[in-house]
Amino acid sequence: MNLQKAKTVSADNPLILALPKGRILKEVRPLLDAVGIEPEAAFDDSSARQLTFNTNHPGVKIIRVRSFDVATFVAFGGAHMGICGNDVLLEFGYDEIYAPLDLDIGHCRMSIAEPVELSKTDDPKKWSHVRVATKYPAITSRYFADRGVQAECIKLNGAMELAPTLGLCRRIVDLVSTGDTLRANGLVEVEQIMDITSRFIVNRGAFKTRPTEVSAWIGKFEEAMNANAA
């Protein structure tokens, strides 16, 4: 296939890169610059309602979605590539996703937290049954099961810190970065479950059917990541 024809095919059937809204996107933005992807101007407008963006590469488009949805779009073929936290990958466990790169961004941790007063007398080693509010029931259940603790998970998608205050449960499992939100709501970390970073992910089907294009972008992101680490 000659170069001109290859460009036409890419433009007619562009690779879709799914990126997360919010905090991680600020760390992703310099990576886009490093790999040579320049989104259209609206991408950097936080008030824009637009969700799909052209780039300077006719063969690449960007979609901007919730961080939890990045993996779903990639797993089911709505996007060919994406960036999301390993918390999402571990929660859903999609077989359709290949995660070749840890991008070393989006650092935080998944922790168990409880009210400060409870923590003064509580001993996690003595837990046999816990009720927790969390966005991550699969990870949470596995973690406690491995410890021989029976866990009852209340699924919440946000405002996790309210659960102990309003009597839903005594503990929560959530992502923690600075810990400021926990402290503001009278909570404290009592155990850390895992460290979290963001990964470059690929749909396995796309990797098989468009190996040259997808491998090239994996290589570019890997080079950018290594350059940042140097």
Kindly state the percentage of the chain with pLDDT values over 70: 94
3-106+197-229 and 108-195: same fold? yes
Contact, 15 vs 76, CB < 8 A?
A: no
What is the CATH class of 3-106+197-229?
Answer: alpha beta
Band (pLDDT 50/70/90 cuts) for residue 207 is very high
Query: Does position 224 have pLDDT exceeding 60, yes or no?
Result: yes
Band (pLDDT 50/70/90 cuts) for residue 219 is very high
Containing 89, the helix (H) or strand (E) segment is helix 86-92
61 token code pair: 């488009």
Residue-range domain boundaries for the chain: 3-106+197-229, 108-195
The string over 32-45, giving b where at least 16 C-beta atoms fall within 10 Å of a residue's C-beta and e elsewhere, is beebebebbeebee
Looking at the structure, give the CATH architecture of the domain made up of residues 108-195: 3-Layer(aba) Sandwich (3.40)
Band (pLDDT 50/70/90 cuts) for residue 57 is very high
Model pLDDT, residue 226 = 84
Model pLDDT, residue 46 = 75
Band (pLDDT 50/70/90 cuts) for residue 45 is confident
Contact, 130 vs 151, CB < 8 A?
A: yes
Band (pLDDT 50/70/90 cuts) for residue 230 is low
**CA separation for the pair 45, 114 (Å, rounded):** 37
**CA separation for the pair 18, 143 (Å, rounded):** 29
Contact, 116 vs 188, CB < 8 A?
A: yes
Q: What is the pLDDT of residues 59-69, one digit of tens each?
A: 999 999 999 99
Residues 6+ positions from 199 with CB-CB distance below 8 Å: 83, 84, 85, 86, 89, 99, 101, 102, 103
- Taking CA atoms, 101 is separated from 66, 92, 187, 196, 217, in Å, by 20, 18, 34, 13, 11
209 token code pair: 């059917």
Band (pLDDT 50/70/90 cuts) for residue 1 is very low
